[in-house]
């Protein structure tokens, strides 16, 4: 995964629902907050916080 480069003008897009709003790249997930929350429930992501 090309995470070594700082993202300049690269589009951040939710790779789950492809929205451009509220996308977070935390943990290299590149998903929007809504999906992050849903995925977090599915895989128990809260354990990493
Ligand atoms: Zn999403």
pLDDT of residue 32: 93
Does the residue 4 lie in any domain? no
What's the structural domain count of the chain?
Answer: 1
Tokens coding 48: 């990493």
- pLDDT tens, per residue, the chain with 49 residues: 555 555 555 678 999 999 999 998 877 888 999 998 888 777 775 555 4
pLDDT of residue 40: 78
C-alpha 47 – ligand 1 centre gap (Å): 20
Separation of alpha carbons 37 and 26, rounded Å: 12
Does the residue 3 lie in any domain? no
pLDDT of residue 29: 83
C-alpha 9 – ligand 1 centre gap (Å): 20
C-alpha 5 – ligand 1 centre gap (Å): 23
Secondary structure (DSSP) of 1-49: ---SSPPSSPPP--TTT---SSEE-GGG--EEHHHHHHHHHHHTGGGG-
C-alpha 11 – ligand 1 centre gap (Å): 14
Domain span at 18? 13-49
pLDDT of residue 18: 94
C-alpha 38 – ligand 1 centre gap (Å): 9
pLDDT of residue 9: 56
Provide long-range contacts, Cβ within 8 A and 24+ apart, for 25-34. 28/1, 28/3
């Amino acid at each position: 995964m090309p995470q070594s480069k700082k993202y300049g003008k690269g589009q951040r897009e939710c790779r789950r629902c492809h929205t451009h709003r509220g996308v977070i790249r935390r943990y290299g997930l590149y998903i929007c907050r809504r999906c992050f929350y849903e995925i977090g429930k599915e895989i128990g992501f809260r354990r990493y916080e």
